[in-house]
Amino acid sequence: MEQEKTINVYGNAERATAFSALMRKVYIWMTMGLAMTGLTAAYVATNQRLMETIFSNRLTFFGLIIAELALVFILSSRIMRMSFPTAGLMFAAYSILNGATLSVIFLAYSTDVIATTFLVTAGTFGAMSLAGFIIKRDLSAMGRFFFMALIGLIIASIVNIFVASSALYWGITYLGVLLFAGLTVYDTQKIKMMFLEHGNEVNNNTMKLALLGSLTLYLDFVNLFLYLLRIFGGNRN
């Protein structure tokens, strides 16, 4: 039986200090992004004019969605080619745009449900991220599985737009929770290993890697929140 691959990392005090600083930046910037998203969503939800501008005009709404996707793509693929301030501004812009489009949840769900779901999401995310940080087994081989599961989830969601199956809706919902909980573990370990390999010091390049890690975990958190919201808020399909 093939022995499981394990992660063994040894480093000096300087590397350990840099690693700790970079990991802190990942979670601090992720939290700041979530705060900007939440505050923007709450503000837009209380502004009737903005709500009408965004959701009454399909061109505006889909324009925002396309802008969000473009920002994520550019940050994910070209962040090392841009300056750190530019990358930071793009992450902030994405967080704000995402908050604007997510403001609709305040119309679909009560504040109590949203608050409860957020707390459950925060607890689940924290536990999964901690697991990803302390698990010694190398999870890199799981990347392909998570990618295929994500593609399957997207396809199933598109199909259910047309078939409107309640069973498929709930299947997608619970699969989404499991998938993004698993991705939180996987992505946390991936970020950890990235810094253990490249995080010799805190500099412009490693801070950009930390920002990219923040974006990754931000996306895991938001998607986990949205799928849990479907559970705590009841059937809204």
CA 177 – CA 228 distance, rounded (Å): 7
pLDDT at 199: 61
pLDDT of residue 234: 76
* Domain assignment present for 7: no
Which residues contact residue 13 at a Cβ distance below 8 angstroms, ignoring those fewer than 6 apart? none
pLDDT tens readout for residues 106-134: 989 999 999 999 999 999 999 999 999 99
Helix, strand, or coil here: 144? helix
Give the three-class secondary structure for 47.
coil
Q: Is residue 70 part of a domain?
A: yes
Quote the domain boundaries for residue 203.
13-232
| Residue 3 included in any domain | no
DSSP state letter for 135? -
Which range has the worst mean pLDDT, 3-7, 24-28, 47-51, 185-189?
3-7
Per-residue pLDDT, 235: 52
In a domain, 164, yes or no: yes
Domain-embedded: residue 217: yes
**Does residue 152 carry a pLDDT above 80?**
yes
Tell whether 151 is covered by a domain. Answer: yes
pTM: 0.90
pLDDT at 98: 96
**Total number of domains in the chain:** 1
pLDDT at 126 (0 to 100): 96
Report the distance separating Cα 20 and Cα 196, nearest Å: 10
Angle between helices 48-55 and 58-78 (to 10 degrees): 80
In a domain, 4, yes or no: no
Integer-rounded Cα radius of gyration of the chain: 19
Mean pLDDT check: name the lowest of 9-18, 56-65, 213-222: 9-18
